[in-house]
Amino acid sequence: MATASKPPRFGARGRVLELIRSTGPTSRTELAVASGLTQATISNVVKELLHDGLIGEVGQAASTGGKRRTLLRLSPDSRLGVGVLLGAEAITLVVCNLAGEMVSRMKTVGAKGMTPQEAVAAIARSVEFIVEDAADDAGRIVGIGLAVPGPIDRDNGFMTRALKGDLWEAWAGFPLLAELEKATGMSVAIDNDATAAAVGEYWLGAAEEAAAYACVYMSAGIGAGLVLDGTPYRGVSSNAGELGHISVDASGPTCPCGNRGCLELFASPSAIVSKAKLEAAAGNLDMAFTSNIEEDLGRLGMLGMRGDAVAHEILRSAADLLAVGIVSLVNLFDVGLIVLSGPAFVSTGSIYLEQVGQALARAALSRSVHPVKLELSFSTRDSAALGAAVLVLQEELDPRTRRSVSVSAGSGIPSVSWDPGP
Ligand SMILES: [Zn+2]
């Protein structure tokens, strides 16, 4: 069989690294037992990981009668990944290490009003700045994970969104990945912001114990990142989880996507702000508006929190509609946890938690079998950028995982999935 000559190198490397990472200081013997790999393979892989600086030797385990065993531990700062979240109102950059710790963070103006070429140049300048700030040795940076508002062509590295009048219309088909690689000289991986956020939530701790969960991500649009059986579910073309384009009114207005009565038409930040403007024009809401939807939504959220009945009602009705979508999502995938993340929840989170929580308790089909937990992200603004950095770190460490990065529950940190081969 042809497989007999196939070296297990990358699979073994990924698995050994994950074991060292998840179990803390451990010995070669323990690694062989836990992995099922031979001592000789473990010895070779460990030698390679030590050579690459990904792990280090940290003393010896107490003797149990035989030879003392040298302990190995992950060197978290040996590799760093840059995560970039491309947003209309803000571009967020983070640098994180192998343990998922954020080493540096910065926020710049959003891509709204920029051409894709201008945005790539701006991102490249910011990357240079943050890398200089975070790493004394740029060689530790493995690459850039770029989280973008979907839909995307992940394999070819561009956004495909071509909805008429959409903010991102000019970006459709622009070779984003290739241009950013050219501008920075680094390797770039692209992903949907909601999927990146779902991975980020695992590292942030909200989804630590859930094998199946969804991250409902609201920025300019509404999306969902799905993690099923511990692995991000992307669908055939990395466009799963378009929560904003499920219909909540079959006879409603036609959405630019072609569907009717899409959730996003009624419950996206711009739809909410438009409603607030109408109320303000009618004299029912005392609020000043800017040209920044995110900021306006933040102001509306603050008013609602402080007890303004009109602001609260606008947000409550939008949250009720989002809840309709979320109940459908839960019914379709039987997830045990929903995490709300994205800049739109920064000051509105508590209103959404209440409305969505009530809907899940009232209507989720699985509620009599298991509770469906609902949480607000620990970092609504940064989860997607962090997840993007994690994805590029994992891809770099184990090239065989380029299409199968997983976040195995229970190990304490996301892992690279391992295909032991036939
Ligand atoms: Zn639609």
Chain segment 121-173, per-residue pLDDT in tens: 999 999 999 999 887 777 899 999 999 997 899 888 999 866 666 778 889 89
Q: Six-digit token pair at 148? A: 């973008």
User: What's the CA-to-centroid distance between 63 and ligand 1, angstroms?
Assistant: 64
User: What's the CA-to-centroid distance between 330 and ligand 1, angstroms?
Assistant: 20
User: What's the CA-to-centroid distance between 36 and ligand 1, angstroms?
Assistant: 48
Query: What is d(CA 187, CA 178) in angstroms, rounded to the nearest whole number?
Result: 9
Which band of pLDDT confidence, cut at 50, 70 and 90, is reported for residue 263? very high
In a 10 Å sphere around its CB, with 0-12 CB exposed, 13-18 middle and 19+ buried, how is residue 422 labelled? exposed
Does this model's pTM top 0.75? yes
Task: Give mean pLDDT, residues 279-291.
Answer: 97
Residue 404: predicted pLDDT: 40
User: What's the CA-to-centroid distance between 262 and ligand 1, angstroms?
Assistant: 5
Query: What is d(CA 266, CA 245) in angstroms, rounded to the nearest whole number?
Result: 11
Domain 12-74's class? Answer: mainly alpha
Query: What is d(CA 71, CA 22) in angstroms, rounded to the nearest whole number?
Result: 14
Q: Report the amino acid identity of residue 59.
A: G
Residue 346 DSSP label? T
Query: What is d(CA 193, CA 84) in angstroms, rounded to the nearest whole number?
Result: 10
Query: What is d(CA 180, CA 183) in angstroms, rounded to the nearest whole number?
Result: 5
What number of other Cβ atoms are within 10 A of residue 307's Cβ?
8
Residue indicated by tokens 């640098």:
95
Query: What is d(CA 230, CA 236) in angstroms, rounded to the nearest whole number?
Result: 18
Residue 59: predicted pLDDT: 83
User: What's the CA-to-centroid distance between 325 and ligand 1, angstroms?
Assistant: 13
What are the residue ranges spanned by the domains of the chain?
12-74, 80-197+383-401, 209-376
Please check whether residue 225 is in contact with residue 214, taking contact to mean a CB–CB distance below 8 angstroms: yes
User: What's the CA-to-centroid distance between 204 and ligand 1, angstroms?
Assistant: 31
pLDDT, greater one: 283 or 228: 283
Which band of pLDDT confidence, cut at 50, 70 and 90, is reported for residue 64? low
The string of DSSP codes covering 375-419 is EE-TTTTTHHHHHHHHHHHHHHH-GGGTT-B---TTSSS--B---
Q: What residues have a C-beta under 5 A from ligand 1, the ion? A: 245, 255, 257, 259, 262
188-206, pLDDT tens digit by residue? 999 999 999 999 988 787 7
User: What's the CA-to-centroid distance between 316 and ligand 1, angstroms?
Assistant: 22
User: What's the CA-to-centroid distance between 267 and ligand 1, angstroms?
Assistant: 12
* Closest-CA residue to 217 (of 338, 92, 342): 342
Residue 163: predicted pLDDT: 67
Helices 28-35 and 9-23 sit at what angle, rounded to 10 degrees?
110
Residue-wise over 319-341: b if at least 16 C-beta within 10 A, else e?
bbbbbbbbbbbbeebebbbbbbb
Task: Give mean pLDDT, residues 222-227.
Answer: 95
Residue 400: predicted pLDDT: 46
Task: Give mean pLDDT, residues 16-24.
Answer: 81
CATH superfamily of 209-376: ATPase, nucleotide binding domain (3.30.420.40)
Which band of pLDDT confidence, cut at 50, 70 and 90, is reported for residue 411? very low
User: What's the CA-to-centroid distance between 263 and ligand 1, angstroms?
Assistant: 7
User: What's the CA-to-centroid distance between 106 and ligand 1, angstroms?
Assistant: 32
Sign of CA dihedral 132, 138, 53, 232: positive
Residue 135: predicted pLDDT: 76
User: What's the CA-to-centroid distance between 331 and ligand 1, angstroms?
Assistant: 20
Do 80-197+383-401 and 209-376 agree at the fold level? yes
Chosen CATH of 80-197+383-401 out of 3.40.190.10, 3.40.50.300, 3.40.50.1700, 3.30.420.40: 3.30.420.40
106-119, pLDDT tens digit by residue? 999 999 889 999 99
User: What's the CA-to-centroid distance between 376 and ligand 1, angstroms?
Assistant: 25
Pairing state between β 55-60 and 70-74: antiparallel
What Å distances lie between residue 43 and 82, 148, 380, CA to CA?
Answer: 31, 41, 42
User: What's the CA-to-centroid distance between 314 and ligand 1, angstroms?
Assistant: 21
Query: What is d(CA 201, CA 255) in angstroms, rounded to the nearest whole number?
Result: 30
Q: If residue 373 lies in a helix (H) or strand (E), which one and from where to where?
A: strand 373-376
